[in-house]
A and B are shown apart, each in its own frame.
Chain A
Amino acid sequence: MWGRSAMQYRASMVLTMLNSGLTASLELLGILVVFGNVHSIGGFSLPEALYLYGTAQAAFFTSDLLFTGTEYLAVRIRMGTFDGLLIRPVGILPQVFADQFTPRRLAPLVPAYAALAIGVAGAPVRWTALRIAMVPYTLLIGVAVFGAVWILVGAFQIVAADASEVMNSVTYGGQFMTSYPLSLYGRNLMLFLTFGLPLAYVNWQPTLYVLGHADPLGTPSLLRFAGPLFAAALWGLALLAWRQALRHHRSTGS
């Protein structure tokens, strides 16, 4: 339904779609510009960096496609239109996920998968069956982790509608961080991203396995495959936070 509404202004939609694609493409070009000056970043060569970048962006924008409706909750809370969703005889979360959907969000997936494809083709990897299977697995876990983050965003917006921009640092900040080797950010931040807010499982941990790099933290190799555990834990936490937030919600009565 939201898709159809966006299609009503076709020229505008095509333009915004092109913009979204262009923005993502120029970010990708930015990486190429950086690699025009140096041969590796944090021990990652260009194709390896593109693989990492591609997995992060593909996972993020797929999650954006599926879950990002939570970002618009603050506006609904302020306007009082959230109540409209609450009284419909459909689950509240799916309604929120689909809120304000626009086909524009498909566009950034193009440069994301292009980067991933170049990375897969160019990285010096001996592709075994397990390594090949790890690529879609990485995306799946990545989408799951970001999805849980989007739910947390929704919960936060219900509780603190005036400070909704605060969560941008987690969502878009997370997207940006995971696009580069986590080893750049130093030991403490890496520990936090591995065991605290587990963004390391979006792509970093499985990518270490695929590309055959050692974890600078020296964690056991079993952790490369621990993504589902951390993603499930984060989903549990996010859903709990969501339930609490819904309970906290007081309608403006409009």
Chain B
Amino acid sequence: MVVYALISRQAFRRYLTYRGAMFGGVLANTVFGCIKAFIMTAVWSQRPSIGGYGLADALTYVFLAQAMIGPMSLLVNGLDIPARIRSGDIGTDLFRPVDFQNYWLATDLGRAAFAILGRSIVPFVIGALLFHLNVPEDPRVWAAFLVAVFLGTIVSFALRYLAAMSAFWLLDEKGVTGLANVLTSFFGGMIVPLVLFPGWLGHLARILPWASLVQLPADVFLGKRTGAAVGGAYLFEIGWAVTLLLAGRLVTRRARHRVVVQGG
């Protein structure tokens, strides 16, 4: 465990050096959050409640979604696996005395921890200053929310890991990771909140793994899920995390047999 904590810390420090990119990300998340908030205001001005969400809930959702873009890497794959496969560095990674998949999970959690501090807080606070958001006062709700975000980040990693691993077979992973990002945008509720999805599409979106990313943490944050329903959300996230991580494990085993390390 200690070694994974150290790996996470290294990743955290690595991303600390990219401050220009961080600032650009904060600005973009804030700007896009504001534009989306204006659009949602126009939508909710005609119907005070959609799918159990009032205007303040919808605006809060918008800024939560923007805040999750960094830690859950919702728009880009964010894993270096394909680049390391092309350069051959992946040989080193496979040789490390730690589990390959857990190594990348630890790296990604370190990156996510940095992103929460560096990219999530500022856009959300600015959103809360400019718009009327629904922010919980009960610290227990905040704690429950953070657990849901943590589990959601693992689901996000498991999905991105599967997409990135395609590079073992394809070398150029952009097609697959791009498709995965598109699915995340849509079913993760980044283009339109899932509460606006009509009937069957809404039901479908709510059982797919992408619901773990923004929708479930947002439901907990907004108090739409309390008590046992929070546990239900956790179980849903854990179920998908375990399923997808196991799939990743299977893929990793097959990928190991494909690797030919040149020279050295």
Contact = CB atoms under 8 A, between A and B. Distances in A.
Interface in A1-35: 9, 11-12, 14-16, 18-20, 22-23, 26-27, 29-30, 33-34
B170 interface: yes
B175 A41 contact: no
A53 to B, nearest CB: 12
A184 interface: yes
Given A173-B32, A180-B39, A12 B196 contact: no
Interface stretch (A118-126, A157-165, A220-228, A237-245): A157-165
Contact of B178 (A11, A19, A176): A19
Contacts of A164: 20, 24
B31 A173 contact: yes
Interface stretch (B101-109, B185-193, B216-224, B228-236): B185-193
A177 B35 contact: yes
Contacts of B176: 15
Nearest to A12: B172
Interface in B18-57: 19-21, 23-25, 27-28, 31-32, 35, 38-39, 41-43, 46-47, 50
B28 A172 contact: yes
A18 B47 CA distance: 36
Interface in B166-203: 170, 172, 174-176, 178-179, 181-182, 185-186, 191-192, 196-198, 201
Given A26-B186, A36-B196, A184-B38, A16 B178 contact: yes
A104 B41 CA distance: 34
Contacts of A11: 170, 175
B38 A19 contact: no
A39 interface: yes
Interface residues of B, number: 36
A195 interface: no
B55 to A, nearest CB: 13
A176 B172 contact: no
Nearest to A162: B20
Given A34-B192, A184-B38, A165 B31 contact: no
Contacts of A30: 186, 191-192
Contacts of B172: 9, 12
Contacts, number: 109
Contact of A12 (B21, B39, B174, B185): B174
A160 B27 CA distance: 15
Nearest to B29: A169
Nearest to B50: A37
B185 A185 contact: no
Given A22-B182, A26-B185, A165-B28, A15 B35 contact: no
Residue of A11, A27, A29, A33 ringed by the most chain B CB atoms within 10 A: A33
Contacts of A162: 19-20
A162 to B, nearest CB: 4
Contact of B42 (A23, A26, A169, A184): A184
Contacts of A22: 179, 182
A169 B29 CA distance: 8
A41 B179 contact: no
A164 B24 CA distance: 7
B31 A33 contact: no
Residue of A11, A37, A162, A166 ringed by the most chain B CB atoms within 10 A: A37
Contacts of A167: 24
21 contacts: A12-B170, A15-B179, A16-B174, A19-B175, A26-B191, A27-B191, A29-B186, A33-B196, A33-B197, A38-B43, A41-B39, A164-B20, A166-B23, A166-B27, A168-B24, A168-B27, A172-B28, A173-B31, A173-B32, A184-B42, A186-B38
